[in-house]
């Protein structure tokens, strides 16, 4: 898979999704229902939800000036 296609997948679906998909391709793994469910789950994670989880883990309130500034970056 060309690097440009991988970059497009990362931009559109996120790094975890792209990593999982590339791993499936490299291992020539047949996509089972379980793998398909994993891909769908990974594709459903938005940058905003990921950032909210990370802010919570770091103890930063999303309504704090830092939280608001970071969330503004992901829309």
Give the model's pLDDT for residue 44. 86
- Give which of 22, 21, 11 is closest to 46, Cα–Cα: 11
Rg (CA), the chain: 15
- What is the rounded distance in angstroms from the CA atom of residue 32 to the CA atom of residue 37? 9
What pTM value is reported for the model?
Answer: 0.60
Give the model's pLDDT for residue 45. 83
Give the model's pLDDT for residue 60. 96
Residue-by-residue pLDDT tens, the chain, 75 positions: 788 998 888 888 888 889 999 999 999 878 899 989 999 988 888 888 889 999 999 999 999 999 999 999 887
Give the model's pLDDT for residue 14. 83
Give the model's pLDDT for residue 12. 83
């Amino acid at each position: 898979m060309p690097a440009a296609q991988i970059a497009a997948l990362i931009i559109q679906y996120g790094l975890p999704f792209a990593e999982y998909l590339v791993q499936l391709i490299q291992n020539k793994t047949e996509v089972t229902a379980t793998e398909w469910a994993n891909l769908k789950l990974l594709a459903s994670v938005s940058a905003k939800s990921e950032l909210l989880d990370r802010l919570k883990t770091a103890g930063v309130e999303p309504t704090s000036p830092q939280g608001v500034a970071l969330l503004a970056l992901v829309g």
